[in-house]
Amino acid sequence: MDDKHHIPREHGQLGEIQARKHLEQQGLTFVEQNVRYKFGEIDLVMRQGKTLIFVEVKYRSKSQFGGALHALSTKQIQRLRRAAEHYMQIKHLDVICRFDLIGIEPDRIYWLKNAF
């Protein structure tokens, strides 16, 4: 992938750590990180009460126009939804779930609940 917007893996992992800490400070419980399937991946799985939260973390080194929150394509959303469905099937979970987006920029963290 030679896309000029591609973020080096270590930045992504750093972003996930920041996102996890931020969400834990907001009272969420960490479940799992970097869940990968051949058709998609989940950056973070968190829990808030009985709700399972699948979190997509977007890191941007600069506050570009639109920033981190607009960096999610329809295809990425579909892949994340498929991965979440698979995750719940193989773990035999029948719980309420939602999809959140964490946007990390150098000077702030955005948390968008029910992002898609």
Residue type, 83: A
pLDDT tens digits for 13-55?
888 999 999 999 999 999 999 999 999 999 999 999 999 999 9
Give yes or no for a contact between 46 and 31, defined as CB atoms under 8 angstroms apart.
Answer: yes
Structural domain for 94, as ranges:
9-112
Q: What proportion of the chain, given as a percentage, has pLDDT over 90?
A: 64
- Tell whether 67 is covered by a domain: yes
Q: Supply the Cα-derived Rg of the chain in whole angstroms.
A: 14
d(C-alpha 91, C-alpha 86), whole Å: 8
Q: Report how far Cα 106 is from the mean position of its chain's Cα atoms.
A: 17
d(C-alpha 112, C-alpha 116), whole Å: 9
Number of independent structural domains in the chain: 1
- pTM for the model: 0.85
- Tell whether 35 is covered by a domain: yes
